[in-house]
Amino acid sequence: MKISLGQLDVKRSDPLHNIDSIRDYAAAASGEGSDLLCLPEMATTGFDWKDPDLLASAEAQHAELADIAKEYGLAICGSFLERAPSGKPANTLIYFNRNGEVLAKYRKIHLFSLFNEDQFVEPGQELVVTDIGHCKAGFGICYDLRFPELFRENTQRGAQLQILPAAFPHPRLEHWRALIQARAIENQCYFVAVNQAGVEGLGDKVGSAHYFGHSMIVDPWGEIVVEAGEEPDLVHVEIDLGLVEETRAKLTALDDRRPELF
Cα–Cα nearest to 161, from 122, 199, 134, 201: 134
Annotation marks residue 186 as catalytic: no
From CA 213, how far away is CA 40, in angstroms rounded? 9
Long-range contacts of 155-160 (CB under 8 A, 24+ apart): 155/187, 155/188, 155/189, 155/254, 157/127, 157/129, 158/129, 159/129, 159/187, 159/189, 160/135, 160/136, 160/189, 160/190, 160/241, 160/244, 160/245
Residue 172: how many other CB atoms lie within 10 Å: 12
Annotation marks residue 142 as catalytic: yes
The one catalytic residue in 82, 142, 189, 200 is 142
What is the three-class DSSP state of 243? helix
The one catalytic residue in 38, 41, 189, 200 is 41
Annotation marks residue 77 as catalytic: no
Q: Provide CB contacts within 8 A for 156, sequence distance 6+.
A: none
Residues 67 and 104: beta-carbon distance below 8 Å: no
* Dihedral angle over CA of 59, 63, 66, 70, nearest 10: 170
The one catalytic residue in 108, 117, 122, 200 is 108
* Vertex 159: Cα angle to 110 and 192 (nearest 5): 65
Residue 198 φ then ψ, to 5°: 90, -170
Q: Provide CB contacts within 8 A for 98, sequence distance 6+.
A: 35, 69, 70, 73, 74, 75
Catalytic site residues?
A: 41, 108, 142
